[in-house]
Amino acid sequence: MSSKWNKSNLMGWQFVILPSALILLFSFYPMIQSLLLSFQSGKGNVYNYVGLGNYGRLFSDPMFRQAVLNTLLYLIVQVPIMLMLGLVIAYFLNMPSLKFKGFYRTAIFLPCVTSLVSYAVLFKSIFAVDGILNRMLMSIHLIHEPVAWLMDPVWARVVIIAAITWRWTGYNMIFYLSAMQNIDPSVYEAASIDGASKTRQFFSITVPMLKPIILFTAIISTNGTLQLFDEVVNITNGGPGNSTMTISQYIYNLSFVYTPNFGYAATVSYAIVIMVAVLAFLQLKVGGEKK
């Protein structure tokens, strides 16, 4: 019996050891190396140990503060809109009387599988000075001259928020829809008999029962927004005047656009790690189960 167990255990390790080695090599080793690099400064193969100097530089770096403020603005505005919109859409798509459900679900989820670059270029062309949006608004006389959407700091941020919302709302909607389909219909039937309206059922039954899924999507949406890169680079390239630049784009600029400073870039990247960890902890404390 012991011999068979040892043989089975050995066989299991043979399946596990290669993936584990690859994870250690391509995930944990770079993480450790980047952490060590964050305590150094230099370029090429010449680095000097500076201790916490790079971390102290974060607090006096105006570009870093601007990138953090921009990223937090996207987080505060876009994530709640996206989560609520996904929840409402999932609620309507879960209605038994709705026809063409498959079409609507596919259409709303389709942006999630669209190429990041191609959809960013699409939004850039739509909101261009000579883009379709300006032509449409001028044709119905809402504006008299083209609006430079991407050249205005406020409107440029609105375009970025709209692009992210358009792409990722369907992703969260799938989670909510799957969870709603697991709710026993008899719960809604009992609420209807008691005189609860559809709105009351949504806020008193659907939302509380989806609380773990809402918490999960909030955490992954927060994580994704703090690492926002593709949309900003391809639509506005951080402009105008760095008004849309995110932390991830700043890391890229520190590494490949400005004079290369991989040590400080690694420090900024760990600032994202700290922000993700803190926000995830707060979300778990606020939205987690009370013991």
Distance CA 56, CA 58 (A): 5
Tell me the per-residue pLDDT of 126-150, one tens digit each, with 9 for 90 and over.
Answer: 999 999 999 999 999 888 899 999 9
Give ∠ CA 160-163-166 in degrees, rounded to 5: 150
Do 245 and 118 lie in a common domain?
Answer: yes
Please state the φ and ψ torsions of residue 98, each to the nearest 5 degrees. -75, 135
Owning domain of residue 13: 2-26
Do 212 and 103 lie in a common domain?
Answer: yes
Tokens representing residue 109 in the block: 């989820």
Do 7 and 108 lie in a common domain?
Answer: no
In the predicted model, residues of the chain with pLDDT beneath 70 are: 1-8, 44, 287-291
pTM for the model: 0.86
CATH number for the domain spanning 175: value is: 1.10.3720.10
Residue reference for tokens 């993480």: 31
Do 204 and 155 lie in a common domain?
Answer: yes
Residue 1 CA to chain centroid, in angstroms?
Answer: 50
Residue 115 CA to chain centroid, in angstroms?
Answer: 15
Q: Is 107 within the bounds of a domain?
A: yes
Q: Is 124 within the bounds of a domain?
A: yes
Do 89 and 229 lie in a common domain?
Answer: yes
Do 89 and 12 lie in a common domain?
Answer: no
- Report pLDDT for 163: 92
Element (H, E) at 87: helix 62-93
- Report pLDDT for 114: 85
Q: Is 45 within the bounds of a domain?
A: no
Contact 152, 127 (CB under 8 A): no
- Report pLDDT for 289: 57
Do 16 and 101 lie in a common domain?
Answer: no
Q: Is 72 within the bounds of a domain?
A: yes
Do 68 and 154 lie in a common domain?
Answer: yes
- Report pLDDT for 68: 95
Burial degree of 218 (CB within 10 A; 0-12, 13-18, 19+): buried
Q: Tally the domains of the chain.
A: 2
